[in-house]
Structure formats: C-alpha cells, structure tokens
Amino acid sequence: MEFLNDFWQWSAVLSKEKPMQFGLLTVATMAGIGAVLAGCAELVFKALKIDLGKYKKEYEGGGMH
C-alpha cells in the first residue's frame, strides 16, 4: 500500500509538471492493467471449463435469422 500511495503522489506531481508524460503514463497503465486482467480472466474461465474460442453464431450459415 505504501508503494501505491507513493505512486499516486508521484502521478499527481507528474500531471502538473509533465502533462505529456502523465498522458502517456495514463494510457500505458490502463492498457497494461487491461491486458494483464484479460490474461488472468482467460485462465479463470479455462479452469471453469468455459469455451472461449469461436462458436457457431445464429447469423452464420445463411437463411433468415
């Protein structure tokens, strides 16, 4: 928690002093956390034996839906 508090404080200073770097940090943090959580969820769903690959959709194979 100490580390996180230091990080938030540092980001607050960065947002005031170096806005461009803060912009990049924001996007990188969001994309990074998003990607890591997507990977974790993949493992959880696999453990639950949920199929996450392509499947037969209602609009495939022609005809009226």
Partner 1 sequence: MYMPISGVEMAIWPLLLIGFCVGVIGGYFGIGGAFMVTPALNIFGFPMAYAVGTDMAHVAGKSVVSTFRHWRFGHVSVLIAVLMIIGTFAGIEVGAQLIMWLTSKGIEGPVVRWVYIVILGALAVYILNEYFKARKKEIVTGKKYTDVVGTKLSDYVQKTLNVAPVVHCKVANLKISIWAVIFVGCITGVVAGFLGVGGGFLRVPALLYVIGVPTKVAIGTDLFEVMISGAYGGFSYAIKGKVELAGAVIMLLGAAVGAQFGTLTTKYVHGLFIRFLFGITVALACISVSLRQIGWLFERTYSKPVSAFLEDAGFKADQIRQMMVKKDVMYQYIVTEMGKPEWYSAFIKFWWLRELSQWIMLGSAVGLSAYILYLCFQGMAKERSEKRNSSNTSATV
Of 2 and 54, the one with the shorter C-beta distance to partner 1 is 54
What is d(CA 46, CA 29) in angstroms, rounded to the nearest whole number? 26
What is d(CA 18, CA 20) in angstroms, rounded to the nearest whole number? 6
Q: What is the 3-state secondary structure (H, E, C) of 44-57?
A: HHHHCCCCCCCCCC
Give the number of residues in contact with partner 1, rule: CB under 8 A: 38
Among 2, 8, 43, 47, binds partner 1 (CB under 8 A): 8
Residues found near partner 1 in the complex (CB under 8 A): 8-9, 11-12, 15-16, 19-20, 22-27, 29-31, 33-35, 37-38, 41, 45, 48-55, 57-60, 64-65
